[in-house]
C-alpha cells in the first residue's frame, strides 16, 4: 500500500513540475501564433529545464514581436512614400 501511495505522490509531483508547465507553454505558443504576445512566467515548481524552456520561449516571442513591428512600420512607411510624392 505504501508503494502505491509513493507512486501516486511521484506522479502528482511529475504532473505539477512537468506536464502542467508544458501545457501552459503550449497554450502560450498558440497565443503567440495568433498575434497575442503574452508570455507566462515559469512556475516555481517546474523543473530547471522547463524554466529554461520558458526563458528561451520568452526571448523567441519577443524577437518575433520586434520583427513583426519592424515589418509593419516598414510597410506603413513604404506605403506613405508611394502615396505622397
Q: pTM of the prediction?
A: 0.71
Cα separation of 23 and 17, whole Å?
Answer: 11
Give the sign of the dihedral formed by CA 39, CA 45, CA 46, CA 48.
positive
Task: Tell whether the model's pLDDT for residue 2 goes beyond 70.
Answer: yes
pLDDT tens string 32-62: 888 887 888 888 877 788 889 999 999 999 9
pLDDT tens string 61-80: 999 889 989 999 999 998 88
pLDDT tens string 6-30: 998 888 877 777 888 888 899 999 9
pLDDT, residue 59, reads 92
DSSP secondary structure letter of residue 44: T
Amino acid at each position: 500500500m505504501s508503494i502505491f501511495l509513493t507512486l501516486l505522490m511521484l506522479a502528482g509531483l511529475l504532473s505539477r513540475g512537468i506536464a502542467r508547465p508544458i501545457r501552459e507553454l503550449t497554450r502560450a505558443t498558440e497565443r503567440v501564433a495568433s498575434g497575442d504576445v503574452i508570455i507566462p512566467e515559469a512556475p516555481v515548481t517546474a523543473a530547471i529545464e522547463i524554466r529554461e524552456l520558458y526563458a528561451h520561449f520568452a526571448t523567441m516571442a519577443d524577437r518575433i514581436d520586434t520583427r513583426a513591428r519592424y515589418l509593419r512600420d516598414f510597410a506603413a512607411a513604404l506605403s506613405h512614400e508611394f502615396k505622397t510624392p
